[in-house]
Amino acid sequence: MSVSKGVWSKFVKRSPTLALRNKALRTALLSPDLPSGPVSLKSKASKRKYQSIEGLDQIYPLAYEVLEKRSEDIYSKIESLDKNSPTYAEQKEELEIAAEKFNPEVVYMAEYMKNSLDRTQPVFRHYLKKTWEGYSKMLLMQRLETLAVIPDTLPTLEPKVEVKLKFPHNNQDRWIEPGTLLSSNVTKMPPSLEVIEFKESTGDLYTVLMVDPDTPDLAQDSYSTTLLWGVKDVKLSNTDSMIDAKKLMQNEDCEFVEYLPPVCEKNTGKHRIAFWVFRQDGPLENAPKGLRREFFKIRQFVEDNKLTPVGAHVIRTLWDRNTENVRKMYGLPEGRVFTRERVPYLKN
Amino acid sequence: MFGAARTVQKSGANLQFVRTKRIRAGLDPVAQRVVTQLSVISANRKMPKMLKLSKEDFVKHVTVMRAWGVVRKEKKQAEEAQLKQQYESIKEANEDLKHVSQKLFEAANKLEIGKRFPLELRVPTEYPSRSGWFYDYTPRKL
């Protein structure tokens, strides 16, 4: 017997992705008690000894009814919105979130099935944003600030999207935490990025820059920024958010500066490698193919192209015993070796 | 009798000659007793056990809590709206009175500094009290 008698079990106007796919789980959430035991528990022993909360089966249908009624009211409010109003889309999204936020099926998916959420639905974007703001966003900002990526590359960042990064160096599918120290073996191939938008997005264009602000500049007795990778005009949406080799192979114009792995010279310390993700106004014009990598002025580039920084990521690398092999792979000359003291005859 | 038998066995050939006191596993009994007593009065024991819920029961629990929150909020809003309405009507009546008769209006809104409710008076509340009436009250004789 289902507890749902109203809008939450009708899928004429609502997306079917708001319902749980797993039938056993769905019946468990839509019935007062657990008709086939606790489905989410794995082992037989824990299933057998599991006891549900006393009295929950009596109060749950009432609670469901109250929330479903509220949701129905909100859906009728959406119907009565003025479609010509300039804030119509915003209001509608807000109400759609409010209408589905307490739906037990949605709550279940948002809590336990974070990797397979339908990001075209405002509720799921809302829940994803909340989780991101709770940890990853703060972590990213902390790493950017402590490593001084802000303001060494760009003045500041107000993150709007979540940027996830991984390298294809082995079979393990693992996202890299901002600030991790990676070996040259890991970074030898171009990474894949996932750009998760929390607003409704259908075919927005993005630019990605990968820069190394720690390249030694002996003439100035300072450091300079090197552009390691430049990708432009990548079309992303809520359903398709990956920037990977497959996508770049399909649109060859996207990669305006080809990938060059960070090959640090010996004794230059740890290099910060910053990834910046920008939202574009339109197609990028001031980014010619084969742009000069050395002495890259990132602030100038951003200003010229009217780019809005929306996300970032940072990793670190340093010279290791594999760096020379990577240099050979990409046909680069042997790297310099820096010493503690600047000796004149070693300058050349 | 038993004591004697044990002593014999202890001093038997299977026991090695030990230069120092043997160190046994764990704490010595005195220290162990202190630890037990401390753990009994520790804060850890006073915490209620965490509920171990399956995922679907957790979601159901959250749903019930949220529904309760929604119901309570609606009730509170209705109460506040009613109070506001009452206040508005009092204000309106006062305005009317002000137009009809300034004298009566001033009399109705006169400040009475120092005037108190008598102690015997039941304080006006929104709900009746739990204990009801204080029957044994006798007014103080002056």
pLDDT (tens digit, 9 = 90+) per residue, B69-92?
A: 999 999 999 999 999 999 999 999
Instruction: Mark the ranges of chain A whose per-residue pLDDT is less than 70.
Output: 344-348
- Taking the CA of residue B64 and the nearest CA in chain A, the distance in Å comes to 5
| Number of Cβ atoms within 10 Å of the Cβ of A136 | 18
* Predicted local confidence at residue A292, as pLDDT: 93
* Predicted local confidence at residue B12, as pLDDT: 52
Q: Which of A50, A102, A111 sits opposite B54 (nearest CB)?
A: A50
CB–CB of B62 and A29 under 8 A? no
Within the 77-116 window of chain A, which residues sit less than 8 Å (CB to CB) from chain B?
Answer: 102, 104, 107-108, 111-112
Query: Which residue type, as a one-letter code, is found at position B105?
Result: F
* Predicted local confidence at residue B15, as pLDDT: 64
- CATH: 1.20.58.1180, 3.30.300.30, 3.40.1350.10, 1.10.240.10. Which one for A7-119? 1.20.58.1180
How far apart CA B13 and CA A331 sit, in angstroms, is 79
- Going A73 to A75 to A80 to A86, the CA torsion angle's sign is positive
If you count residue pairs, one on A and one on B, with CB atoms under 8 Å apart, how many are there?
A: 64
Residue B125 has pLDDT above 90, yes or no: no
Length of chain B: 142
Please indicate if any CB of chain A lies within 8 Å of the CB of B50. no
Taking residues B1-8, report their average pLDDT.
39
Distances (CA, A) of B77 to A70, A225, B84: 15, 58, 10
Of the two residues A53 and B47, the one the predictor is more confident about is A53
Please indicate if any CB of chain B lies within 8 Å of the CB of A29. yes
Closest chain A CA to residue B67 = A63
**Percent of chain B with pLDDT strictly greater than 70:** 84
Partners of residue B71 in chain A, C-beta under 8 Å:
66
| In chain A, where the domains are located | 7-119, 136-329
* Predicted local confidence at residue A165, as pLDDT: 96
Dihedral in degrees, nearest 10, Cα atoms A138, A237, A81, A124: -50
Residue B131 has pLDDT above 50, yes or no: yes
* Predicted local confidence at residue A179, as pLDDT: 96
* CA A106 from centroid of its chain's CA atoms: 21
Partners of residue A52 in chain B, C-beta under 8 Å:
54, 57
* Predicted local confidence at residue A125, as pLDDT: 97
Query: Which tokens is A317 given?
Result: 């690398």
Partners of residue B53 in chain A, C-beta under 8 Å:
53
* Predicted local confidence at residue B16, as pLDDT: 65
Closest CA to A71 of B7, B63, B131, B23: B63
The three-state secondary structure class of A94 is: helix
Instruction: Read off the pLDDT band of B65 (50, 70, 90).
Output: very high
Q: Which of B57, B66, B67 sits opposite A56 (nearest CB)?
A: B57
Q: What is the DSSP letter of A340?
A: S
- Taking the CA of residue A108 and the nearest CA in chain B, the distance in Å comes to 6
Q: Which of B56, B61, B66 sits opposite A67 (nearest CB)?
A: B66
- CATH number for the region A136-329 comes to 3.90.280.10
Please indicate if any CB of chain B lies within 8 Å of the CB of A53. yes
Q: Which residues pair with A196 in a beta bridge?
A: A162
User: Are A211 and A298 spatial neighbours (Cβ–Cβ below 8 Å)?
Assistant: yes
Query: Which tokens is A177 given?
Result: 């935490």
- Tell me phi and psi for residue A121, to 5 degrees: -90, 125
The three-state secondary structure class of B34 is: helix
Pairing of strands A204-217, A222-236: antiparallel
CB–CB of B59 and A107 under 8 A? yes
Instruction: Read off the pLDDT band of B28 (50, 70, 90).
Output: confident
Partners of residue B57 in chain A, C-beta under 8 Å:
34, 38, 52-53, 56
User: Are A246 and A234 spatial neighbours (Cβ–Cβ below 8 Å)?
Assistant: no
Query: Which contacts of A164-173 are long-range, i.e. CB under 8 A and separated by 24 or more positions?
Result: A164/A193, A164/A194, A164/A196, A164/A313, A165/A191, A165/A192, A165/A193, A165/A194, A165/A275, A165/A313, A165/A315, A166/A191, A166/A192, A167/A191, A167/A192, A168/A192, A168/A245
Within the 56-85 window of chain B, which residues sit less than 8 Å (CB to CB) from chain A?
Answer: 56-57, 59-64, 66-68, 70-71
Query: Which tokens is A271 given?
Result: 């290099």
Instruction: Read off the pLDDT band of B2 (50, 70, 90).
Output: very low
Q: Which of A39, A67, A107 sits opposite B67 (nearest CB)?
A: A67
- Going A292 to A293 to A295 to A300, the CA torsion angle's sign is positive
